[in-house]
Protein backbone atom coordinates (compact mmCIF):
# COMPACT_ATOMS: atom_id res chain seq x y z
CA UNK A 1 0.00 0.00 0.00
CA UNK A 2 1.32 3.49 -0.93
CA UNK A 3 2.24 5.97 1.82
CA UNK A 4 -0.68 8.24 1.01
CA UNK A 5 -3.18 5.42 0.94
CA UNK A 6 -1.91 4.08 4.24
CA UNK A 7 -2.15 7.52 5.89
CA UNK A 8 -5.72 7.97 4.64
CA UNK A 9 -6.71 4.50 5.72
CA UNK A 10 -5.29 5.11 9.20
CA UNK A 11 -6.98 8.50 9.45
CA UNK A 12 -10.29 7.06 8.28
CA UNK A 13 -10.25 4.62 11.20
CA UNK A 14 -10.63 7.61 13.52
CA UNK A 15 -13.80 8.86 11.77
CA UNK A 16 -17.01 8.12 13.58
CA UNK A 17 -18.94 7.98 10.30
CA UNK A 18 -17.09 5.05 8.64
CA UNK A 19 -17.86 1.34 9.03
CA UNK A 20 -15.33 -1.17 7.73
CA UNK A 21 -16.62 -4.63 8.52
CA UNK A 22 -14.42 -7.62 7.86
CA UNK A 23 -15.68 -10.15 5.29
CA UNK A 24 -16.39 -12.52 8.20
CA UNK A 25 -18.82 -10.04 9.69
CA UNK A 26 -20.99 -9.93 6.56
CA UNK A 27 -20.23 -12.92 4.35
CA UNK A 28 -22.54 -15.50 5.85
CA UNK A 29 -24.28 -13.48 8.54
CA UNK A 30 -25.94 -10.14 9.11
CA UNK A 31 -24.06 -7.07 10.28
CA UNK A 32 -24.93 -5.93 13.79
CA UNK A 33 -26.43 -2.65 12.47
CA UNK A 34 -28.87 -4.35 10.10
CA UNK A 35 -32.30 -2.87 10.85
CA UNK A 36 -30.83 -0.37 13.32
CA UNK A 37 -29.24 2.38 11.21
CA UNK A 38 -31.90 4.89 12.26
CA UNK A 39 -31.83 4.13 15.96
CA UNK A 40 -28.15 3.31 16.51
CA UNK A 41 -26.33 5.45 13.93
CA UNK A 42 -28.45 8.47 13.03
CA UNK A 43 -30.58 8.69 16.19
CA UNK A 44 -33.62 9.78 14.21
CA UNK A 45 -36.41 8.26 12.13
CA UNK A 46 -35.57 10.08 8.90
CA UNK A 47 -35.45 8.28 5.53
CA UNK A 48 -32.18 6.60 4.55
CA UNK A 49 -30.75 6.89 1.04
CA UNK A 50 -27.78 4.91 -0.33
CA UNK A 51 -25.10 5.73 -2.87
CA UNK A 52 -23.56 2.57 -4.35
CA UNK A 53 -20.01 2.62 -5.72
CA UNK A 54 -19.83 6.08 -4.12
CA UNK A 55 -16.10 6.65 -4.74
CA UNK A 56 -15.35 9.98 -3.04
CA UNK A 57 -19.01 10.28 -2.02
CA UNK A 58 -19.95 13.51 -3.82
CA UNK A 59 -23.61 12.53 -3.93
CA UNK A 60 -23.66 11.25 -0.36
CA UNK A 61 -22.19 14.47 1.04
CA UNK A 62 -23.84 16.80 -1.50
CA UNK A 63 -27.33 15.43 -0.83
CA UNK A 64 -26.79 15.27 2.94
CA UNK A 65 -25.90 18.97 2.95
CA UNK A 66 -28.97 19.86 0.90
CA UNK A 67 -31.33 17.60 2.86
CA UNK A 68 -30.42 17.54 6.56
CA UNK A 69 -33.78 15.86 7.26
CA UNK A 70 -32.64 12.71 5.41
CA UNK A 71 -29.77 10.29 6.10
CA UNK A 72 -27.21 9.18 3.52
CA UNK A 73 -24.92 6.15 3.38
CA UNK A 74 -22.16 5.82 0.77
CA UNK A 75 -20.90 2.33 -0.05
CA UNK A 76 -17.70 1.44 -1.88
CA UNK A 77 -15.00 -1.18 -1.67
CA UNK A 78 -12.18 1.34 -2.08
CA UNK A 79 -11.27 3.05 1.18
CA UNK A 80 -8.79 5.55 -0.24
CA UNK A 81 -11.57 7.14 -2.32
CA UNK A 82 -14.13 7.04 0.46
CA UNK A 83 -11.65 8.87 2.71
CA UNK A 84 -12.42 12.10 0.82
CA UNK A 85 -16.15 12.09 1.51
CA UNK A 86 -15.86 10.80 5.05
CA UNK A 87 -13.23 13.45 5.90
CA UNK A 88 -15.40 16.27 4.52
CA UNK A 89 -18.41 15.03 6.51
CA UNK A 90 -16.23 14.63 9.61
CA UNK A 91 -14.65 18.10 9.32
CA UNK A 92 -17.94 19.86 8.56
CA UNK A 93 -19.73 17.91 11.27
CA UNK A 94 -22.36 16.65 8.83
CA UNK A 95 -24.14 14.16 11.04
CA UNK A 96 -26.57 12.65 8.53
CA UNK A 97 -23.80 10.84 6.64
CA UNK A 98 -22.20 7.42 7.03
CA UNK A 99 -19.95 5.31 4.82
CA UNK A 100 -19.60 1.54 4.62
CA UNK A 101 -16.53 0.01 3.08
CA UNK A 102 -17.75 -3.23 1.58
CA UNK A 103 -18.71 -4.91 -1.67
CA UNK A 104 -22.25 -4.29 -2.91
CA UNK A 105 -22.51 -8.08 -3.23
CA UNK A 106 -22.86 -8.17 0.60
CA UNK A 107 -25.49 -5.43 0.79
CA UNK A 108 -28.28 -7.65 2.12
CA UNK A 109 -26.24 -8.26 5.25
CA UNK A 110 -26.55 -4.55 6.11
CA UNK A 111 -30.17 -3.56 5.59
CA UNK A 112 -33.48 -5.09 6.52
CA UNK A 113 -36.87 -4.94 4.88
CA UNK A 114 -38.11 -1.40 4.15
CA UNK A 115 -35.06 0.19 5.74
CA UNK A 116 -34.06 2.17 2.63
CA UNK A 117 -35.97 4.79 0.65
CA UNK A 118 -33.82 5.45 -2.43
CA UNK A 119 -30.59 4.36 -4.10
CA UNK A 120 -28.19 6.38 -6.20
CA UNK A 121 -25.84 4.47 -8.51
CA UNK A 122 -23.29 6.99 -9.73
CA UNK A 123 -21.02 6.15 -12.65
CA UNK A 124 -20.76 2.43 -11.92
CA UNK A 125 -18.27 0.33 -13.84
CA UNK A 126 -20.29 -0.45 -17.01
CA UNK A 127 -19.02 -4.05 -17.30
CA UNK A 128 -19.30 -3.98 -21.09
CA UNK A 129 -18.53 -7.65 -21.71
CA UNK A 130 -21.64 -9.77 -22.07
CA UNK A 131 -20.27 -12.47 -19.78
CA UNK A 132 -19.95 -9.86 -17.00
CA UNK A 133 -23.55 -8.69 -17.19
CA UNK A 134 -24.31 -10.15 -13.77
CA UNK A 135 -21.69 -7.78 -12.25
CA UNK A 136 -23.61 -4.70 -13.39
CA UNK A 137 -25.08 -2.91 -10.41
CA UNK A 138 -28.36 -2.60 -12.35
CA UNK A 139 -28.60 -6.27 -13.44
CA UNK A 140 -31.61 -8.33 -12.23
CA UNK A 141 -29.32 -10.01 -9.71
CA UNK A 142 -28.58 -6.69 -7.98
CA UNK A 143 -32.00 -5.08 -8.50
CA UNK A 144 -33.63 -8.08 -6.80
CA UNK A 145 -31.21 -7.81 -3.91
CA UNK A 146 -32.13 -4.10 -3.50
CA UNK A 147 -35.83 -5.03 -3.63
CA UNK A 148 -35.41 -6.84 -0.31
CA UNK A 149 -34.63 -3.68 1.67
CA UNK A 150 -36.14 -0.88 -0.45
CA UNK A 151 -39.55 0.44 0.54
CA UNK A 152 -42.26 -0.38 -1.97
CA UNK A 153 -41.98 2.00 -4.95
CA UNK A 154 -38.54 3.03 -3.70
CA UNK A 155 -36.51 4.90 -6.28
CA UNK A 156 -33.30 3.95 -8.09
CA UNK A 157 -31.29 6.73 -9.75
CA UNK A 158 -28.64 5.81 -12.30
CA UNK A 159 -26.15 8.39 -13.59
CA UNK A 160 -23.68 7.11 -16.18
CA UNK A 161 -21.55 8.08 -19.15
CA UNK A 162 -22.13 4.63 -20.66
CA UNK A 163 -24.89 4.68 -23.27
CA UNK A 164 -24.70 0.90 -23.28
CA UNK A 165 -25.36 0.59 -19.54
CA UNK A 166 -28.10 3.22 -19.74
CA UNK A 167 -29.87 1.41 -22.62
CA UNK A 168 -29.44 -1.96 -20.95
CA UNK A 169 -31.02 -0.66 -17.72
CA UNK A 170 -33.80 1.19 -19.54
CA UNK A 171 -34.69 -1.97 -21.50
CA UNK A 172 -34.80 -3.94 -18.29
CA UNK A 173 -37.00 -1.35 -16.60
CA UNK A 174 -39.39 -1.26 -19.55
CA UNK A 175 -39.56 -5.02 -20.04
CA UNK A 176 -40.36 -5.46 -16.34
CA UNK A 177 -43.01 -2.71 -16.51
CA UNK A 178 -41.33 -0.63 -13.80
CA UNK A 179 -42.39 2.99 -13.46
CA UNK A 180 -39.95 5.39 -15.11
CA UNK A 181 -39.66 8.78 -13.44
CA UNK A 182 -37.02 10.45 -15.60
CA UNK A 183 -34.95 9.22 -18.51
CA UNK A 184 -32.45 11.02 -20.74
CA UNK A 185 -29.33 10.09 -22.67
CA UNK A 186 -28.13 13.71 -22.59
CA UNK A 187 -28.68 15.14 -19.14
CA UNK A 188 -27.04 18.49 -19.72
CA UNK A 189 -28.83 19.26 -22.97
CA UNK A 190 -31.01 21.54 -20.86
CA UNK A 191 -34.24 19.56 -20.84
CA UNK A 192 -34.08 18.66 -17.16
CA UNK A 193 -33.26 21.54 -14.80
CA UNK A 194 -32.38 20.10 -11.44
CA UNK A 195 -30.01 21.21 -8.70
CA UNK A 196 -29.50 17.62 -7.46
CA UNK A 197 -28.62 16.27 -10.87
CA UNK A 198 -26.05 19.01 -11.29
CA UNK A 199 -23.87 17.55 -8.51
CA UNK A 200 -20.74 16.40 -10.39
CA UNK A 201 -18.80 13.40 -9.16
CA UNK A 202 -15.08 12.86 -9.67
CA UNK A 203 -15.62 10.45 -12.57
CA UNK A 204 -18.35 12.58 -14.05
CA UNK A 205 -15.96 15.53 -14.34
CA UNK A 206 -13.44 13.32 -16.14
CA UNK A 207 -16.09 12.08 -18.58
CA UNK A 208 -17.38 15.60 -19.21
CA UNK A 209 -13.87 16.85 -19.95
CA UNK A 210 -13.58 14.08 -22.54
CA UNK A 211 -16.82 15.33 -24.11
CA UNK A 212 -18.98 12.36 -23.07
CA UNK A 213 -22.73 12.76 -22.73
CA UNK A 214 -24.20 11.98 -19.35
CA UNK A 215 -27.22 9.67 -19.13
CA UNK A 216 -29.69 9.67 -16.26
CA UNK A 217 -32.48 7.26 -15.44
CA UNK A 218 -34.72 7.11 -12.38
CA UNK A 219 -37.37 4.47 -11.79
CA UNK A 220 -39.41 2.82 -9.07
CA UNK A 221 -39.00 -0.73 -7.83
CA UNK A 222 -42.08 -2.78 -7.14
CA UNK A 223 -41.29 -4.70 -4.01
CA UNK A 224 -43.52 -7.64 -4.83
CA UNK A 225 -42.37 -8.29 -8.38
CA UNK A 226 -39.25 -10.27 -9.21
CA UNK A 227 -37.17 -8.55 -11.89
CA UNK A 228 -36.09 -10.80 -14.73
CA UNK A 229 -34.13 -10.71 -17.94
CA UNK A 230 -36.68 -12.92 -19.69
CA UNK A 231 -38.63 -10.34 -21.72
CA UNK A 232 -35.47 -8.45 -22.64
CA UNK A 233 -33.79 -11.59 -23.92
CA UNK A 234 -36.86 -12.59 -25.96
CA UNK A 235 -36.66 -9.24 -27.77
CA UNK A 236 -33.02 -9.78 -28.78
Which stretches of the chain bind ligand SAM, using CB under 6 A?
Answer: 53-55, 76-78, 81, 103-105, 122-125, 201-204
164 or 230: whose CB is closer to ligand SAM?
Answer: 164
In degrees to the nearest 10, what's the CA dihedral of 190, 214, 227, 76? -130
Q: List residues with catalytic annotation.
A: 125
Shortest distance in whole angstroms from residue 122 CB to ligand SAM: 4
Please identify, using beta-carbon distances, which residue of 28 and 233 lies nearer to ligand SAM: 28
Residue (9 or 44) nearer to ligand SAM, CB: 9
Q: Give me the least distance between CB of 112 and ligand SAM, in Å please.
A: 20
Q: How far is the CB of 21 from ligand SAM (least distance, A)?
A: 13
**Is the distance from CB of 107 to CB of 146 less than 8 angstroms?**
yes
Beta carbon nearer to ligand SAM, 84 or 174: 84
Give 60's DSSP letter.
H
Q: Is the dihedral of CA 147, 127, 167, 228 positive or negative?
A: negative
Q: Please give the Cα distance from 26 to 142 (Å, whole number).
A: 17
Q: Which is nearer to ligand SAM, 124 or 154 (CB)?
A: 124
Q: How far apart are CA 46 and CA 118, in angstroms?
A: 12
Q: What is the chain's length?
A: 236
Supply the minimum distance, in Å, between the C-beta of residue 1 and ligand SAM. 15
Q: What is the DSSP string of 105-173?
A: GGGGGT--TT-EEEEEEES-----SGGGGGGSTTSHHHHHHHHTTEEEEEEEEEEES-HHHHHHHHHHH
Phi and psi torsions of 213, nearest 5°? -85, 145
Q: What angle do CA 49, 57, 129 make, to 5 degrees?
A: 90
Amino acid sequence: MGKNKLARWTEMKSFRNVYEPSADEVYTKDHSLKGSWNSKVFSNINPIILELGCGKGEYTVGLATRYPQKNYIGIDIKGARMWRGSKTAHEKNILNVAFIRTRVEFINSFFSEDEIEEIWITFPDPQPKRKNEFKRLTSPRFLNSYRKFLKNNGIIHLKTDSKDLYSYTLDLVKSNCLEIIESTDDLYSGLIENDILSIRTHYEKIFLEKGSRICYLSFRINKNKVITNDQRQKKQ
